[in-house]
Amino acid sequence: MATRGGIKAGHAYILIEALDKTEAAFKTVANRLNNLSQKFLITGRQTALYTAALTIPMVSAINTARDFSDEILYLQSKLRATDQDMIPLIGHIKELAKSSTFVALEITQAASALAEGGFSRKEIADSLRAVMDLSRGARMGLDESAKLVVDSIRTFELSSAEANKVVDAFIIASKNGTINVQELAQSFSYSALSANQMGMSLEETLAALSAMSLRMLKSTKAGTSLNQMIQSLSISHEKLAAIGVSGFTKEGGEKPILNILTELALATRKMST
């Protein structure tokens, strides 16, 4: 029987030699294809990862842009403004975003909070910078800061141009007491209306709440306590005098309300001990 090693001539040799060469060629091609497929596999994975790395931020950016557009539409509906009316305010929001750590979407949400409080386009433009400053200085959310600015301006009948004054008053009062702005805001919500009706200013109201924090009266407890003291001032001067509190100076003029409140608080404490 002929073998590959013994056949040296004829068609059998040629056929066997051809088969040998073909087999070797197939092995070489197979090895190359295998190596190539591995390279494609690695490259495919790398390409997929690279594509994902590019796609994720693109999708995020698209979603953010969509959210911003939706928030602008909501703000526009609250302001009952036309597209033309919104152009200056949108431009102002984008300019603020360029010079701060807040993105345009966050600033627009703050603008919406101001609009919910009844602010006009001009009032929103006047107040947004102050709201952003309060948010950073007090570590509060922008929408929370916006609501506090709205409540303060509306309760004490201030103008939106005085938004910076509001922010300064809260920051200073917080520093003078043992209370943060969030706690101060909570106290404020329980006493601001009564304080304003009694003729107290924003600064006087916050100073009283700050002083109360030094006596461990904070948040709702401070607000309700101040509100009760203010209500007590509505009684007659004779009744105040009966508990050792005078509403007049030695010269006969009326004492500042904050002074009367301080005396009333001391008198009430003595009565309870």
Q: How far is CA 63 from CA 27, 69, 125, in A?
A: 52, 10, 26
What Rg value do the Cα atoms of the chain yield, rounded? Answer: 38
Asked if 105 and 67 touch (Cβ cutoff 8 Å), the reply is: yes
* pLDDT the model gives residue 197: 84
Residue 229's closest CA among 172, 201, 186, 269?
269
The identity of residue 39, as a single letter, is: K
Residue 41 corresponds to which amino acid? L
Rounded to whole angstroms, how far apart are CA atoms 51 and 216?
58
The total number of residues shown for the chain amounts to 273
pLDDT more than 70, % of the chain: 60
Cα separation of 105 and 71, whole Å?
7
The distance of Cα 241 from the centroid of its chain, to the nearest Å, equals 48
- pLDDT tens across 228-249, in order? 777 766 666 666 667 677 666 6
- The sign of the dihedral angle between the CA atoms of 154, 144, 228, 272 is negative
Query: Of 109-118, 192-201, 261-270, which range is least confident?
Result: 261-270
For residue 80, the tally of other CB atoms under 10 A from its CB is 8
φ and ψ at 86, to 5 degrees? -80, -20
95's tokens: 């300019």
pTM above 0.85, yes or no: no
Angle at the Cα of 182 from the Cα atoms of 196 and 92, rounded to 5 degrees: 85
Give the H/E segment covering residue 38.
helix 10-79
Round to whole Å and give the CA distance between 256 and 247: 8
Q: Average pLDDT of the chain?
A: 76
Phi, psi of 248 (to 5 degrees): -125, 155
The residue written with tokens 């197979």 in the block is 30
Least confident of 37-41, 61-65, 241-245, 262-266: 37-41
The tokens for 203 are 């600064």
**Which ranges of 158-201 does DSSP label H, i.e. alpha helix?**
163-176, 181-197
User: How do the residues of the chain divide into helix, strand and coil, expressed in percent and rounded to 5?
Assistant: 80, 0, 20
What pLDDT, in 10s, does the model give residues 177-226?
Answer: 888 899 899 888 888 888 888 788 999 888 888 887 877 766 677 777 77
Residue 42 forms beta bridges with which residues?
none
The span from the CA of 82 to the CA of 160, in Å, is 22
